[in-house]
Amino acid sequence: MHLSSAVVGGLLLGLFMAISVGPTMFAVLRYSLNHSYKAGLAFVLGVSISDIIFVTVANVATPWLQWLHQFSRTLSYSAAVLLIAVGLFGVIKKHKPAKPSAKIMSISNAQYFKIWLSGFLINTLNPALIFQWIFAATGMAQETDLYRFVFFGSCLGLVLGIDVLKVFLADKIRRKLTIKRIMLLQKVSAFCILGFGIGLLIITIMNIELKTPGSHTSVHKNFQSVMPPYCAKA
């Protein structure tokens, strides 16, 4: 029963994270529509590896992760620039996709690595991710190693499974869409990614310019403190 509660808790957290809308979801859609399910899988694996690293560090080196959290503003700027660059590239790029078909597009290993790296960086450079895993690891600190392993394993396993499902669904839909609709979806996903980047940049700048009345706590810090767990996937 003890481990059953770990499975249930991990699955609930994973489900909440996986079904939430964020730039990661739109990036998965973008890569799956532009290329194939293999490109989407490469991106998802990058995100998953980033999650695994953070979960591991949060559980075995929480003080180090708390120290890293001091640089959340730098990470915020880095993540914002990366998201804006990816979104802006998708918005201004004059790309007409090939007619949808069941044929798998050829992509070089170097391109796969770049896609994987973009998923890894977008996830890793998100400052909310650090706060989320510190919070989760702190909440599990009194549990046994086995309990924590089952909890986080269930969470990450479900997130990865649903992300993979998104990739295959996007690829399946891609084959049934017209070129015009694919181009529209590409632009929408690019604008969403760009919007998340601009939003993060604005919040980070507000941390410098604005303070909450009667305290020394920044707006950006307040935003992070109430940010729900799913924002780490953003």
> Distance (Å, rounded) from C-alpha 116 to C-alpha 72?
23
Whole-number pLDDT of residue 28 = 78
179-201 pLDDT per residue, tens:
677 677 777 777 877 887 888 78
Residue tagged 């249930």 (tokens): 8
> Distance (Å, rounded) from C-alpha 122 to C-alpha 219?
23
Say whether 211 sits in a helix, a strand or coil.
Answer: strand
23-50 pLDDT per residue, tens:
677 777 777 777 778 888 999 999 999 9
Q: Terminus-to-terminus CA distance in the chain, angstroms?
A: 33
Q: What is the total count of domains within the chain?
A: 1
Reported pTM: 0.60
Whether the CB-CB separation of 196 and 23 falls below 8 Å is answered with yes
61: which 2 tokens? 């080196």
> Distance (Å, rounded) from C-alpha 82 to C-alpha 232?
15
194-232 pLDDT per residue, tens:
887 888 788 888 864 434 333 343 434 433 433 344 344
Whole-number pLDDT of residue 116 = 93
**Pure H helices in the chain:** 2-19, 23-34, 37-60, 62-68, 72-92, 109-124, 127-139, 145-174, 179-209, 219-226
Structural domain that includes position 82 = 2-233
> Distance (Å, rounded) from C-alpha 13 to C-alpha 170?
24
